[in-house]
Structure 1
Amino acid sequence: MAAGTTVHPPSRRPSSRRAVLDRDTARRLAATEYARVAALLRSLAPEDWARPTDCAGWDVRAMAGHVLGMTEMAATLRAAVAQNVAASRAGGGIDALTALQVRRSAGLSATELVERFAAVAPRAERGRHRMATLIGRLTVPEDQVVGGRTERWTFGFLFDVILTRDPWMHRVDISRAVGRELELTPEHDGVLVADVVAEWASRHGRPYRLRLTGPAGGEWSAEGAHADVLELDAVEFCRALSGRGTASPPLGQHVPF
């Protein structure tokens, strides 16, 4: 965890956003996050699956279907191509893709969904590592929209970063929906949050002082910052950056999850 370190914003933004995490750390985070999602899904009571989440229109069942679909997409290049082709035929974009994933898993029982996720997660972790190694430096063809702004990502950023942040944030969503305490550790969640903080700082490029509380928290600042300390819970910081809830993202800067 990068608690107490100083973040130096770059002088200019790269043309395509790249992963900062080293490949071994990214792989470890992916494996741990998949295991925690599986444990959470296995712990749900029958009535939990119909509870609404912070994502409009999605109950826990729909959100789990999306997480399953995204994990299956990451398992092999063939699955990734097939899902994206089907989504393109349905109108294209991330909304079409996630709707496809939810729809395709709708006929599964809760038990079947959980076991299918647990079975595919190790293959997704290996597949992401393999694809990031092979094509990580290439740019994803589609534009990405973050906080209303269009940008480009490398495949390495997608496979090593975004595809771990996505299930992590949905684990937060599901835990909140069912009133379950979220499993957090400095060794896993703290590393993930520190990467988010570094990206947030590089995106806004302004002086800041930040103190995040909780097991995933820490302290960061930009060199020469004299602003008041911004202090909040680490998970709530990430939720705000993702656009969840009513709070504006700190310094107005969103970060993709």
Structure 2
Amino acid sequence: MSIFGPAIDVRPLFPREREAMLDLLRGLEPADWARATVCPGWDVHDVVAHVLNDYMRRLSGARDGHSGAVFADDETLPAYLARTNDEFVRAGRQLSPRLMIELLEHLGPQLDAVWAAHDLEAPAGLNVSWAATDVGSPGWLDVGREYTEFWVHQQQVRDAVSRPGATEPGLLAPVLGVFAQALPFTLRAHDRPEGTVAVLEVLGPAGGRWSAAWRAGRWRMAAPGDQPAARVSMDQDTFWRLATRGIGVEQARARAEASGDPELTAAMTTLLAVVA
């Protein structure tokens, strides 16, 4: 019995998300590239360089079998990612905005081909640690995580330059669905009687309703129950920002409505869908 919900196939969305990002970047003024983002120490130029790094890293690993940078002694995964991401961003400051746009345009279709070849039900190439650490992730969740990464970084740029967009349901709904897969891991410290259900409701045009149930000794994604033991409701903007820590837990709780088991609702409002 899988702990994950039904597969979410985001593969057709990568070109659409990228074109929205490129349209945004082509319209930026030179001063916009130096605007601060929510990523500590990174401006717009740095975030775009990080996206370019993601493109090249996945092409190098998934397509070419290149192992990439190695872990330092006793380095945790968050520390490794922080270090290697920062190394590339620092080097990327030598690149012009025009060149980064051209590289994204050139590499994007090649990365699309890598995603298209993925077997969504096969084991993930890279486990999704914020969804589970003791079982392997399915391929569709690995690919979905990459889509959410690109979409969120686009939103960080949009926030920095005050140009909203790319939030239509076709692009945003899969992001919310992938992030909701973190529910079982989020609740992992709270054992409950068999069949206990916790429901997360995300309001808005791209929103939805997701449930986790305690079954066979652990939390698993499940069909929403009629009488959940705990329920949390928040709008779609609050949810994706909470999941990526664009806003803090207390700010998200102030925007949410919760009812039922207080331990479960408190845990659900700490949901995190990035490595930290």
CA, structure 1 residues 241+127, in 2 after alignment: closer, same or farther (shift >3 Å)?
A: same
* Cα pair 1:214 1:233 within 8 Å, conserved: yes
Partner of 1:94: 81
Partner of 1:201: 183
Percent identity over the alignment is 21
Q: Distance in 2 between matches of 1:70 and 1:190?
A: 22
TM-score by length of 2: 0.70
Which one has a bigger Cα radius of gyration? 2
Q: Distance in 2 between matches of 1:254 and 1:78?
A: 25
SS of the equivalent of 2:21 reads helix
Identify the match of residue 156 of structure 1 among 132, 139, 143: 139
Q: Distance in 2 between matches of 1:135 and 1:80?
A: 21
CA, structure 1 residues 129+19, in 2 after alignment: closer, same or farther (shift >3 Å)?
A: farther
Q: Distance in 2 between matches of 1:29 and 1:112?
A: 24
Q: Distance in 2 between matches of 1:121 and 1:99?
A: 22
SS of the equivalent of 2:246 reads coil
Q: How far did residue 161 of structure 1 move? A: 1.5
TM-score by length of 1: 0.74
Query: How many equivalent residue pairs?
Result: 235
Partner of 2:270: 252
Q: Distance in 2 between matches of 1:150 and 1:178?
A: 36
Q: Distance in 2 between matches of 1:19 and 1:117?
A: 32
Partner of 1:41: 25
Partner of 2:219: none
Instruction: Indicate yes or no: 2:154 matched with 1:171.
Output: yes
* Cα pair 1:65 1:113 within 8 Å, conserved: yes
Q: Distance in 2 between matches of 1:212 and 1:19?
A: 16
Q: How far did residue 66 of structure 1 move? A: 0.4
SS of the equivalent of 2:233 reads strand
Where is the helix percentage greater, Structure 1 or Structure 2? 1
* Cα pair 1:19 1:156 within 8 Å, conserved: no
Greater Cα offset, 99-108 or 199-208: 199-208
More contact order relative to length (CA 8 Å, sep ≥ 6): 1
Instruction: Indicate yes or no: 2:93 matched with 1:103.
Output: no
CA, structure 1 residues 235+101, in 2 after alignment: closer, same or farther (shift >3 Å)?
A: farther
Give the gaps of 5 or more residues in structure 2.
189-195, 212-223, 253-267
